[in-house]
Chains A and B, each alone.
With several copies, the nearest count.
Chain A
Amino acid sequence: MNLDAWRERSPMFEEMSDEHFAFLASLAEEREVPGGATLFRVNTPADRFYLVLEGTVALKIAGPSKPPMTIQTVGEGALLGLSWHLPPYRWQWTAETREPCRFAEFDANEVLAACETDSDFDNAMLRIIAREAGRRLHNVRIQLLDLYGRE
């Protein structure tokens, strides 16, 4: 897929070289998903990840006796799915489309195989994931501050 236009609008891959990004993009499959669909389910093997090209996805968690709660929504420009590269390699949440979405979908095994053979590419991917996880960690901690509540 050609993801150059997408890349320009998202700061996430700005540190990755054009060559590595082009290679990554060559592994993408375009996928359209209707609204209300489950992309992946918590605790199942995390064998994919997505770049969100259009639409919004809700990350949810539920217990057997509780209604599902939305932890976070991610929209256009986001990387959806870190668990394919982090132990225990299972989804931590369930992802559900909020509206019709378009994704660049990646087969994690294919990307990981490429990482095994090219340590520079591995390094570049790890850097993206570390930074994305760090950025989200910061955001979720701010959410936790409950800023809008009473003092």
Chain B
Amino acid sequence: MVVAPLITDTVTEPMMLRPFEVTAVTQETHDTWTLDLKVADGGDDLRFRPGQFTMMYVFGVGEVPISIAGNPSHPETLVHTVRAVGAVTNAICALRPGTVIGIRGPYGSSWPVVAATGRDIIIVAGGIGLAPVRPAIYHVLEHRESYGSVSIVYGSRTPSDLLYIDEIHDWKSRFDLNVQITVDRGDGTWMGDVGVVTPLLNRLSFDANHAAAILCGPEIMMRVIAKELARRGMPTADVSVSLERNVKCGVGFCGHCQIGASFICKDGPVVAYDDVADRLGMEEL
């Protein structure tokens, strides 16, 4: 299976900023919000492939790259989940319905959900990393019959840091999904698992030679999971990871996100673990 960078087919004017209106804001956790947006220039909806990102521009404050967290088959609503960690993301999280911001994109490579048709799917997310994989989950669930076993493993800091909690309950309730959730620190009421995500992989059934893994989260987590999947016989070429980097222009002009000969904004964020281990020296982690 090849997870080669794909040319983005949806951006004709890569630097064009389009106005989007915030239509809904949901607080996910103490520092993370989900925004629904709709296009405000009367033009086409923003179509995207799972794993792609946009550049979100708050007028007068600044611009940040944020992965799209919504459903690719419902492009009429652009969904972004944002953690307030800096000036721009704080401004985004403080937006209220009716405000208009600028959006460029979508940019970047995508999760190989189409190429993985017919395979077992293993999705492992950590923390805010659930947001970039949620479009892939939507895709797989809408085409559930096209895949073998589907497993979702999600690790979080505490129970109150879990994103999309209602959806997680829906996913857990299904018989055709194996959903495993763990937190680093429980609390008095948490009855789920506590500990790192690695041991949860023992609870998954998949055919290591006919599976695709989608990993998104802290780099150390992705490395440990990739190693464990390799130990269970999975070729590392079938493991995709998403990298977050210091993306500024989104189109490979500015060089801010350059690593080796590549640009995250053009060749990433989704890459095969193979490439990452090599190019980013993740084996040195």
By a beta-carbon cutoff of 8 Å, the part of chain A in contact with chain B is: 9-11, 41-43, 56, 58, 61-78, 98, 139-140, 142-151
> In the complex, are the beta carbons of A147 and B194 less than 8 A apart?
no
For A147, what are the chain B residues with a Cβ–Cβ distance below 8 Å? Answer: 126-127, 184, 217-218, 220-221
Q: Is the interface of A mostly helix, strand, loop or mixed?
A: loop
Q: B interface, how many residues as a size bin? A: 35 or more
Shortest CB-to-CB span from A38 to chain B, Å, is 12
Residues of the B chain whose Cβ atoms lie less than 8 Å from the Cβ of A98? 191
| Given A66-B219, A142-B220, A143-B196: 17 more A-B contacts, CB < 8 Å | A43-B284, A58-B186, A61-B285, A63-B219, A64-B219, A69-B186, A70-B194, A73-B193, A75-B193, A75-B202, A139-B195, A143-B195, A146-B184, A146-B185, A147-B127, A148-B128, A149-B127
A151–B157 Cα distance when bound, in Å, is 13
CA distance A77 to B203 in the complex (A): 9
Interface residues of B in 243-275 (CB under 8 A from A): 244-245, 259
Residues of B within 8 A of A10 (CB): 202
Residue pair A63, B157 in contact (C-beta under 8 Å) = no
Most buried by B among A11, A63, A98: A63
Complex Cα gap A61–B199 (Å): 21
Docked pose: A65 CA to B259 CA in angstroms: 11
CB contact under 8 A between A70 and B190, given known A64-B282, A148-B156: yes
Chain B residues in 8 Å Cβ range of A139 = 195-196, 198-199
Contact B186 A70 (CB under 8 A): yes
Looking at A41, A71, A147, which has the most chain B CB atoms within 10 Å of its CB?
A: A147
- Are B202 and A9 in contact (CB-based, < 8 A)? yes
Known: A66-B219, A70-B186. A148 touches B161 (CB 8 A): yes
What residues on A are CB-neighbors of B185 within 8 Å? 69, 144, 146
CB distance from B235 to the nearest CB of A (A): 18
Q: Does B114 contact A (CB under 8 A)?
A: no
